[in-house]
Amino acid sequence: MEVVVGVYNINSASKMLEFAKIAYGFGVKRLVLAKVFGAAAQQIGDLFKLAFKMGGEVLVFNDIGDVVEVVKPDVVFALTRPDKDTRPVEKVEGRVLLLVHGADLSFSPRELPPGAVLSHAVNRDIGSLGQLAVALYKLLSL
């Protein structure tokens, strides 16, 4: 299984770097960002520097549709708060796009690519960074 981490709608530079540290720390090679603005956009150079140091790569796009077009995932898990419409992240075959919301919000239906699975890694509201870390642990460490 190949895992790609995608971050959507991010404006915090420090949070953007934390997403990258978590992804690269678990051995994920590719981090993709869609809809980067504000302080995160102004500090994007720091992200590229971190990626270079940690042996990863960064791709930046305008929207999620572009991410799916380029990455070509077999499965898209959109990590969000656990509720009745989400299901736990599970190991699958092929290329997986783990998509997280950079503003700790739930994804609206129009933001998600077709076929995306609303998912959670742990049955608690621990924020996007926490959901990503636990999901990567479940998918890559067990």
What pLDDT score does 84 carry?
Answer: 86
What secondary structure letter does DSSP report for 63?
S
What pLDDT score does 104 carry?
Answer: 86
What pLDDT score does 106 carry?
Answer: 87
pLDDT tens column, 73-113: 999 999 999 988 899 999 999 999 999 999 988 898 899 99
What secondary structure letter does DSSP report for 106?
P
Give the distance from CA 135 to its chain's centroid: 10
Low-confidence residues of the chain: pLDDT under 50: none
Range of the domain at 98: 2-140
pTM of the entire structure? 0.95
CATH number at residue 71: 3.40.1280.10
What pLDDT score does 142 carry?
Answer: 62
How many structural domains is the chain composed of?
A: 1
